[in-house]
Homo-oligomer: A and B are copies of this chain.
């Protein structure tokens, strides 16, 4: 323990960066015990050196030039918490190529360039850890790579965006419409001024790509993932779903059957008994199904200064331990499974459909005929009173059907004049237990 402390260059001093500074300072003694060496933040990259900060730092540490960290031979480890693709990508690349270990919280970057950066890290004998990039304080990446390393993961389902989960929880509990719930989330600082990445499901998709690549040992690209956001979700959908025993959540779904994978993000209905169904507010949770272990779930804060900083600094501790053992870069397992996407004929789920129908004789028979023709059977049917004259509303939940079958049904419904409108449709998960 008499060794010099590890010299760290911190890139970014926003929310997470400030948390890292605080945690390293407040837990100094514990970190020394656990890592075997002290941790010293030597330089901090900021955009504006004169800006006032919520955390106290020696102004002499601040710099606005990345090369002051990247070209400093004395710095062993770079912590990147700037976010976004550039300059983060260039900085991390350069750090790794210069033999520096990297800890990052950057999901955008890891979803897009993770495989490439990990391969550089492996070549250079550097660690590249990114636990904080998915589900903030939940150590889910370690669970996948180590805790469940003996198992074959068959499904990963995640509530991995706290903003949308908060909005949907408000819509569910209080009946608040989407726009108001979003405004509340913005007032509380849970949603950004431009909420697109959260609300459209893009943020969740990035995290799901990271999870699926780790869990399935493959290399999937973000642009291949179908994504649907929550803008069109209505409180009526949520209420009808509730009547049938379901909860509506923005769910990332990654499944693997016989070596073929599917990954998607969408608002979906969960059976009330599913472990994810009771995950409310800004909390995150990742459900992992392994062939041998069965159902597991990892729950915790998905964002926030200190939770995310905890994940960053835990990675930092691992890098320091690895340095003591001389094993940096050795933990990286290159993706060894070929990428094979499922076709729409191989993706199976139940589906919830809400339809506005003409209130005429024979409509129900015609409707159920369409499902029968596509060999899709119905599990639940709910007739809903409608105030407008001449129309009836009906809510259906199918038994398990392929996406291909569902598309056939939707096409036929669209052609049927008595179907006035498809109000909404959602995938349904977790009702088979």
Closest B residue to A316 by beta carbon equals B150
Evaluate whether A314 and B146 lie within 8 angstroms (CB atoms) in the complex, with A293-B301, A298-B298 already known.
yes
Q: Any chain B CB within 8 A of the CB of A30? A: yes
In the bound complex, what is the Cα–Cα distance between A250 and B304 (angstroms)? Answer: 32
- What CA separation (Å) do A35 and B348 show in the bound complex? 33
Given A142-B143, A146-B318, A327-B327 in contact, is the A151-B300 Cβ separation under 8 Å? no
- Chain B residues closer than 8 Å to A204, beta-carbon distance: none
A293 with B306, Cβ < 8 A, contacts A139-B148, A149-B318, A327-B325 known? yes
> How many monomers of this protein are in the complex?
2
Q: 8 A-B Cβ contacts within 8 A?
A: A31-B150, A34-B150, A34-B333, A143-B147, A150-B310, A294-B307, A297-B299, A325-B327
Note all chain B residues with C-beta closer than 8 A to A138.
147, 296
B34 touches A149 (CB 8 A): yes
From B34, B131, B275, A299 is in contact (CB under 8 Å) with B275
Interface magnitude class on chain A: 35 or more
Does any Cβ of B come within 8 Å of A411's Cβ?
Answer: no
A317: interface (CB < 8 Å)? yes
Min Cβ gap A283→B in Å is 8
A314 touches B148 (CB 8 A): yes
Out of B19, B152, B298, name the residue touching A27 (CB < 8 Å): B152
- For residue A295, CB closer than 8 A to chain B, the reply is yes
**Taking the nearest CB of chain B, how far is it from the CB of A329, in angstroms?**
11
Q: What string of 1s and 0s marks CB contacts (under 8 Å) between A148-175 and chain B?
A: 1111100000000000000000000000
**B contact residues around A313 at 8 Å (CB):** 150-151
Interface residues of A in 108-150 (CB under 8 A from B): 131, 137-139, 142-143, 146-150
Write the nearest CB–CB distance from A174 to chain B, whole angstroms: 15
Knowing A23-B292, A293-B300, A293-B307 are in contact, say whether A317-B142 is a contact too (CB < 8 A): no
B299–A152 touching, CB < 8 Å: no
Q: Give residues in A with beta carbon < 8 Å to B.
A: 19, 23, 27, 30-31, 33-34, 131, 137-139, 142-143, 146-152, 217, 275, 278, 283, 290, 292-301, 304, 306-307, 309-314, 316-318, 321, 325, 327, 330-331, 333, 336
Distance, CA A317 to CA B131, complexed state (A): 21
- Sorted nearest first, the 8 A-B pairs with minimum C-beta distance are A139-B147, A150-B313, A296-B300, A137-B293, A297-B299, A292-B306, A293-B310, A150-B314
Given A142-B142, A143-B142, answer yes or no on A149-B300 (Cβ-Cβ < 8 Å).
Answer: no
CA distance A352 to B313 in the complex (A): 40
Please give, as numbers and ranges, the residues of chain B lying within 8 Å of A318 by CB-CB distance: 146, 149
Give Cα A16 to B139, complex, Å: 26
Task: Identify which of A34, A293, A331 gathers the most chain B CB atoms within 10 Å of its CB.
Answer: A293
A301 engages B296 (CB within 8 Å): yes
A34-B278 Cα distance, complex, nearest whole Å: 34
Q: How far is the CA of A23 from the CA of B139 in the complex (A)?
A: 25
Using CB atoms, name the residue of chain B closest to A330: B325
Query: Which chain B residue shows the least CB distance to A217?
Result: B33
* Residues in B neighbouring A317, C-beta threshold 8 A: 149-150
Q: Which residue of B lies closest to A136 (CB)?
A: B293
Residues of B within 8 A of A33 (CB): 217, 333, 336
Pick the contact of A310: B27, B148, B336 (CB < 8 A).
Answer: B148
Please name the residue on chain B nearest to A278 by beta carbon: B278
